[in-house]
Structure 1
């Protein structure tokens, strides 16, 4: 059976990296990718490349991609190595802006002091729950429902979720999940602005 996934790490000097599966049936386990596993010679893979592949297990039970091919051809001229770094920087600035906005609301007495602690505590809790869910996926145990993760993000824990997606590489490649996640982020911003209005204080 052939699957689809996205390259999330690639060491071009050593000729190997890892694929994040996009098929729900494969869970969240990363797939090892070697340059010799490609069916045909072509451009060297870069982070973000979409691949199609088969999966085998080696003698140690690790998942390896075989008979790999590109789903969407990449272009070395249009894909910059620094794109991933720019994405991470953009997300970091978004979290910083969110924190500065909450502090500004508190300093201008538009939000109570305790309101600052809520996103901090929820972000820490959300990060831990993401970590628990990833470990459950790797061990084949019962998963945490995605609606619970989205609820935590909506309530103010989205900065922790964003960090978990980046650091743990969990839920970061699933398009449907990401669409709902960013919707909860926008809704949280709107809710925070509404609560800061005089009419609601």
Structure 2
């Protein structure tokens, strides 16, 4: 259903949504928002679901702003970087498979974050943080940054966030190194070794 935020207490992280043609107000907590790139404000139009808690109160869940929200800085950075990878690979005769590797690893990492977020909510077995960092290090960090924004998962946790950005820097440095003569030769040896192993 649709409604509008008519009260918002930013310091406390909650407010109330009013539905059209009704004076009934539904409680909404900041944690119920799907995307928290921008803090809610009075007048925001939203879509939401209503669930009743164990005290008989109606709360808004899966709240999303109508019309979406601006792309987050991390998602914008990921998008620009992936375009830069494509352009650099084409212009400087880089390894074309690296483009596919970034796309594949980003998708895998994105879904691993989604699975871990779901597991956290339901109390199931969690994906280890080391696994998420390794996926990011091997090219999945664009997917990790997008997933953090989309699911609001591990986006503020320390030292996880710091380690993630270290993997981003290391991965970018290694990608740049592949354009050097030494890096190009090493990548060639790696590919030949993998092909030989698969045979």
Structure 1: where are the runs of 5+ without partners?
A: 1-5, 20-29, 31-45, 49-57, 65-84
2:29 corresponds to which residue?
Answer: 17
- 2:110 touches 2:143 (CA, 8 Å); kept in 1? yes
1:151-186 CA-to-partner distances (Å, cap 9, x unmatched) read 111111011011100011111121211111111111
Q: Distance in 1 between matches of 2:56 and 2:108?
A: 32
Superposition TM-score, scaled by structure 1 size: 0.60
Q: Distance in 1 between matches of 2:105 and 2:12?
A: 27
Structure 2: where are the runs of 5+ without partners?
A: 1-9, 19-26, 33-37, 41-52, 60-68, 185-199
1:9-57 CA-to-partner distances (Å, cap 9, x unmatched) read 75566663234xxxxxxxxxx7xxxxxxxxxxxxxxx949xxxxxxxxx
Q: Distance in 1 between matches of 2:169 and 2:157?
A: 19
| Larger Rg computed on CA atoms | 2
1:59 corresponds to which residue?
Answer: 54
1:102-148 CA-to-partner distances (Å, cap 9, x unmatched) read 11222124422111100100000001111111111111111100000
Q: How does 1:173-192 map to 2 (within 5 A)?
A: 173-192=156-175
The 3 A distance-change label for structure 1 pair 162 and 61 is farther
The 3 A distance-change label for structure 1 pair 8 and 92 is farther
Are positions 1:169 and 2:152 aligned together? yes
Superposition TM-score, scaled by structure 2 size: 0.60
- 2:16 touches 2:28 (CA, 8 Å); kept in 1? yes
Are positions 1:115 and 2:98 aligned together? yes
- 1:105 touches 1:196 (CA, 8 Å); kept in 2? no
Q: Distance in 2 between matches of 1:60 and 1:119?
A: 47
Instruction: Count residues with an aligned counterpart.
Output: 141
